Amino acid sequence: DAGVTQSPTHLIKTRGQQVTLRCSPKSGHDTVSWYQQALGQGPQFIFQYYEEEERQRGNFPDRFSGHQFPNYSSELNVNALLLGDSALYLCASSSGTGGYGYTFGSGTRLTVV
Amino acid sequence: ILNVEQSPQSLHVQEGDSTNFTCSFPSSNFYALHWYRWETAKSPEALFVMTLNGDEKKKGRISATLNTKEGYSYLYIKGSQPEDSATYLCALDNAGNMLTFGGGTRLMVKP
């Protein structure tokens, strides 16, 4: 049973460009959350998608947007990239019907140059 | 903004030593406290989810306790092994559809 799958694993972009990161949730999970982990810090919540809508959002600018598809997979889009957006982006899936479990992917390492 | 703190930031121990680290969090609006073990280049692995004051959980040589009234949790590792080397993260779940993470404790176990 596959866990959470993220793609790509690594990515290098130039300032001002746009990037799309992808996440497939664990089988049976319908909710996807995105986190950003900057160097030396714990992961920070970006937003959560459930039933194809953004259900909760953290303290991130509108340059960060997302989407959830009918098969529960999700995309994170970042526009007008800044050097400070360089980080590890983690996706976590869970069940929207309750319970405490979050399953994480291994992340996408984004480097902005 | 919730503030979750972990200490120490990093820890070096010898194989066979027992060790522990702390996660502190605001005690209001508590729903659950999560512990994760995160090895480099891998996914964070869920260790425990703790919900009740006084909870104690154990998984092999790793155990955790929870005090929701004073806002802290301890993670203990008995007889550390090199394979225990990882970053240990705690995260507060206040039922707001998000986890608030501490900065992590990086454990290095020397053979």
pLDDT by residue (tens digit) across B11-61? 999 999 999 999 999 887 788 999 999 999 899 999 999 999 999 999 999
Beta-carbon separation of A58 and B36 below 8 A: no
- Asked if B11 is an interface residue toward chain A (Cβ–Cβ < 8 A), one would say no
- Largest Cα–Cα separation, chain A: 41
Q: With 60 as the cut, is the pLDDT of residue A1 above it?
A: no
Instruction: Tell me the count of A-B CB pairs closer than 8 A.
Output: 55
- Say whether B101 and A44 touch across the interface (CB within 8 A): yes
Instruction: Identify all chain A residues contacting B49, using CB atoms and an 8 Å cutoff.
Output: 100-101
Contact between A110 and A85 (Cβ < 8 Å): yes
User: For B35-45, how does the pLDDT look when each residue is reduced to its tens digit (9 = 90+)?
Assistant: 999 999 899 99
Q: Does residue A42 carry a pLDDT above 60?
A: yes
Share of chain A above pLDDT 70, in %: 96
Contact A66, A74 (CB under 8 A): yes
Among B32, B96, B101, the residue with its CB nearest the CB of A100 is B32
Percent of chain B with pLDDT over 70: 98
Q: Is A66 on the interface with B (CB under 8 A)?
A: no
Q: What is the pLDDT of residue A97?
A: 62
CA distance A19 to A111: 11
Residues in a beta bridge with A78: A19, A64
Distance from C-alpha of A112 to C-alpha of A75, rounded to nearest angstrom: 18
Q: Is B36 on the interface with A (CB under 8 A)?
A: yes
- Which residue among A48, A59, A106 places its CB closest to the CB of B97? A48
Contact map slice: A 39-58 vs B, CB within 8 A: 40-45, 48, 50, 55-56, 58
- Cβ neighbours around B19 below 10 Å, total: 19
Report residue B84: phi and psi, to 5°.
-80, -10
Q: Is A59 in CB contact (< 8 Å) with chain B?
A: yes
Q: Supply the pLDDT for residue A94.
A: 92
